[in-house]
Amino acid sequence: MSNQYIEAFVEDKIGVIQLNRPEVLNALNRQMVDEIVEKLEQYDESEDVRVMMIKGNDKAFAAGADIEEMMDETPLTMELADPFAVWDHITLINKPIIASVNGVALGGGFELALHCDLIVAGESSKFGFPEVQLGVMPGAGGTQLLTKAIGERKALEWIWLGEQMEAREALKLGAINRVVADELVFEESFRLAKQLANQAPISIRLIKESVKAAKDMTLMDGMNLERKNFYLTFASEDQKEGMKAFTEKRSPSFKGV
Ligand code: HXC
């Protein structure tokens, strides 16, 4: 698929996806979501990429699903096309994904950020679920991902009221990871991505699997998965390199094998 609504490039093992529909504040139409998912899957497979980033522009990460595209749908056309099912593919991505947010992240735009593992935001960025004001509700994981991130009470209040929340408030609730000056968002996201890209990729991958599993597993099942993943790291050359580098008092160089 050639990309109409995103741009993508790889630098220093960071695979960047830039949302590129500025005339409608990066409103997510179906093709754009398909392009994002396809690129994430390519990056997940690529040996040149260790960490992924999704960014918008100065005004918008994304202002939600494309309302014009959606407005004449019926329950049956939605059910048959099941347009939001493709979002599940993002949940299956193994490498870290960082959302780099300036401007608004609303509705589906906030859901896209919540599908990422870490969210870095500009101080004047705003987050929220305005769907209730359109007579609908979040449909690409918002009620689930936000609730798992910040708990039922705050999630209900936020989604029911449909209000935009300032980045610092979102940070206090634990909905996002870092707030920095607007002009430093990409730089800070990239710095964080590089830090992750320099870690042992197999550890990073197994940590993601184990942490994500904590939400759905019993404590004993989760502990068991963690333990097996710990043992599995000893199959890697990077475990040998990491421990050898420690004893030799030097920085490790990880290869991802
Ligand atoms: C289609 C959109 C859009 C959207 C903005 N635009 N958001 N088009 N779908 N979600 C378009 C506007 O129509 C306008 O086009 C242009 O982008 C600029 O927007 P303005 O409204 O003029 O900008 P501003 O006054 O700065 O207001 C910014 C805004 C507002 C507060 C973000 O645009 C807004 O409320 N947008 C809708 C946000 C929303 O409700 N999102 C949830 C969507 S439902 P023109 O042609 O007039 O210049 C959803 C469900 C998710 O996300 C389901 C799972 C995926």
> Domain residues of the chain, as ranges?
6-197, 201-247
Q: Is the pLDDT of residue 106 over 80?
A: yes
Residue nearest to atom 13 of ligand 1 (CA): 24
* 207 Cα to the center of ligand 1, angstroms: 36
Class of domain 6-197: alpha beta
β 14-19/6-11 pair status: antiparallel
Q: Which two tokens mark 169? A: 């408030």
**Cα-based torsion angle of the residue sequence 250, 254, 255, 256 in order, rounded to the nearest 10 degrees:** 160
Residue nearest to atom 47 of ligand 1 (CA): 24
The fold of 201-247 is Lyase 2-enoyl-coa Hydratase; Chain  A, domain 2 (1.10.12)
Residue-wise pLDDT tens digits, 170-220: 999 999 999 999 999 999 999 999 999 999 999 999 999 999 999 999 999
Q: Is the pLDDT of residue 115 over 80?
A: yes
Residue-wise pLDDT tens digits, 50-92: 999 999 999 999 999 999 999 999 999 999 999 999 999 999 9
pTM listed for this prediction: 0.97
Q: What is the mean pLDDT of residues 147-174?
A: 97
pLDDT at 2: 86
Complex confidence, ipTM: 0.98
37 CB contacts (<8 Å, ≥6 apart)? 86, 87, 89, 90
Q: Which two tokens mark 55? A: 């960014």
135 CB contacts (<8 Å, ≥6 apart)? none
| 64, 107, 109, 131: the active-site residue | 131
pLDDT at 210: 98
Q: Is 183 a catalytic residue?
A: no
Q: Is the pLDDT of residue 18 over 90?
A: yes
* 64 Cα to the center of ligand 1, angstroms: 7
Residue of 19, 24, 161 with the most ligand 1 atoms within 8 Å of its CB, for mutation: 24
* 126 Cα to the center of ligand 1, angstroms: 13
In percent, how much of the chain has pLDDT > 70?
A: 100
Structural element, H or E, at residue 205: helix 201-213
Q: Is 174 a catalytic residue?
A: no
Q: Rounded to whole angstroms, how far apart are CA atoms 197 and 208?
A: 14
Q: Is the pLDDT of residue 1 over 90?
A: no
Residue nearest to atom 51 of ligand 1 (CA): 108
Evaluate the CA torsion angle 195, 196, 201, 203 in order and state its sign: positive
